[in-house]
Amino acid sequence: MTLATSDPNVLHDWITVGPASRLLGTSPARPYVTRLLGAQACVWQEAATPAATLDGAPVSALLRYGYIWIWPAGTPAPLFDFPEYDEPGRRIVDCDGFGVAVSGPRMVENFLDMGHFPFVHADYLGTVPHTEVKPYTVSVDEANDEIRVTECRFVQPKSSSISTEPLEVHYRYRIMQPLSIMLYKSAFGRPDALDAIALFVQPVDEERIFAYTVMALFDDDSSHTSLVAFQHTIFGQDKPVLENQVPKRLPLRPGSETPTRCDVASVAYRRWLKARGMRYGVIAD
């Protein structure tokens, strides 16, 4: 196998290649075919587990959280935890995903960002003049090498498919891998609970991805279709913005772009990527 990259961040970790539903009806002769890290990935159902090749070579594969994960090179370690996925009382909604002509890190950074809510998601996740991003906290969970972003608050007019009044929504973020991030937001009507929304990014190549969303919610009232439709609407609003960022790869050199006070989380993400020696989908120097 000769992949175009030697970046251990993407070679020695689990990366998703799509929902488990892609494996329906597959066999070694008729695998699910997709692209990962610039190479062809084939995955098929073999008894209870998935089997996969990447660029023609066998690779480890597993099914977790309703998604197919591949470990491109070397010996696999455990996948990150997503405890909310199996938590009783939660409803799992798989929104599947979409293609975006941008790098994975740009997608993750957009998912982390609240300042764009009143502009890109006007009347959905934010409205002028409620544009202020109040200070929040960023820390690194050293044990798991994950970034935690907490105490985020934002005034939203229509923060989910069922809310009708503007209210201040509480957010938290957790970045598990360079290309996987979770957001937690206060559940509508349940002040003590947080809905969990995960973004898993499949890097087709350095400047093209598939972005998948899985939600673990406290919501017994909304229809499945309306929940998925809401996420698709939000996604559709982000897509042209992501595809018109220049350059497509995320610049890691400080000073190449201009963060401001509300960008503490994205500054931390870029620093974390640099410290990890990230090369794929970024401009490292």
Partner 1 sequence: MRLFDYELSGNCYKVRLLLHMLGRTHERHAIDFHPGREHKAAWFLERHNPLGQLPVLEDDGVSIRDAQAILVYLASRYDAGGRWYPDDALVRAQIQAWLAAADELTRTAGAARLHEVLPHGVLNYPCDLAACRTGARAVLRLLDDHLAERHSLGLRWLASSAAPTIADIACFPYAALAPEGGIRLDEFPALRAWIADVRALPGFIGMGGIMAPVVSAAA
Partner 2 sequence: MHDLPLNDMTMIDMTTHLPAPGRWRPVLPATSLTPSAGVVLGFLQGEELALWRAPDGSAQAWENRCPHRGLRFTLGTVVDGRVACGYHGWSFRAGDGRCMAIPAHPQMTVPRSICARTFHAVEAEGMVWVSRAPVAGAPPATGVRTWVRTLGIRASPASVAQTLAGAGWRAAAPDVLAGGEIGGDAAVLLLTQAADGLVLLHAGLVDAPDPACLPQIHAALRRLRGELEAQADLAITGTEGAKQ
Residues that bind partner 2 (CB under 8 A): 109, 114-116, 118-120, 128-129, 131-133, 240-241, 244-247, 257-262
Beta strand 250-251 with 282-283 is: parallel
**How many residues belong to the site for partner 1 (CB under 8 A)?**
38
User: What would the two tokens of residue 283 be?
Assistant: 């401009």
33 is a site residue for partner 1 (CB under 8 A): yes
Nearest distance from residue 88's CB to partner 1, in Å?
25
Provide the CB-side half-sphere exposure for 80 (13 A, CA): 23
Residues 6+ apart with CB under 8 A from 191: none
Q: Tokens 């979770």 sit at which residue?
A: 182
Identified binder of partner 1 from the candidate list 34, 150, 163, 245, rule CB under 8 A: 34
265 binds, among partner 1, partner 2, none (CB under 5 to 8 A by kind): none
Q: Under a CB-based contact definition with an 8 Å cutoff, are residues 110 and 104 in contact?
A: no
**Binders of partner 1 in range 239-278 (CB under 8 A):** 239-240, 243
Sign of the Cα torsion 266, 270, 276, 281 reads positive
Nearest distance from residue 35's CB to partner 1, in Å?
7
Closer residue to partner 1 (CB): 155 or 252: 155
Q: Under a CB-based contact definition with an 8 Å cutoff, are residues 79 and 61 in contact?
A: no
Closer residue to partner 2 (CB): 25 or 129: 129
Q: Under a CB-based contact definition with an 8 Å cutoff, are residues 93 and 228 in contact?
A: yes
78 binds, among partner 2, partner 1, none (CB under 5 to 8 A by kind): none
Contact map string, positions 198 to 237, toward partner 1, x by CB under 8 A: ----x-------x-x----------xxxx-xx--xxxxxx
Whole-number Å distance between alpha carbons of 261 and 134: 9
Closer residue to partner 2 (CB): 164 or 261: 261
Nearest distance from residue 128's CB to partner 2, in Å?
7
Q: Under a CB-based contact definition with an 8 Å cutoff, are residues 13 and 71 in contact?
A: yes
Beta strand 137-141 with 146-156 is: antiparallel
Nearest distance from residue 254's CB to partner 2, in Å?
14
115 binds, among partner 1, partner 2, none (CB under 5 to 8 A by kind): partner 2
Closer residue to partner 2 (CB): 24 or 246: 246
Q: Residue 134 gets which letter from DSSP?
A: -
Whole-number Å distance between alpha carbons of 242 and 282: 14
3-class DSSP assignment, residue 225: helix
Q: Under a CB-based contact definition with an 8 Å cutoff, are residues 53 and 17 in contact?
A: no
Nearest distance from residue 266's CB to partner 2, in Å?
8
262 binds, among partner 2, partner 1, none (CB under 5 to 8 A by kind): partner 2
Nearest distance from residue 131's CB to partner 2, in Å?
4
Q: Under a CB-based contact definition with an 8 Å cutoff, are residues 137 and 149 in contact?
A: yes
Contacting residues toward partner 1, per CB under 8 A? 18-19, 21-22, 32-35, 94-99, 101, 119-120, 122, 128-129, 202, 210, 212, 223-226, 228-229, 232-237, 239-240, 243
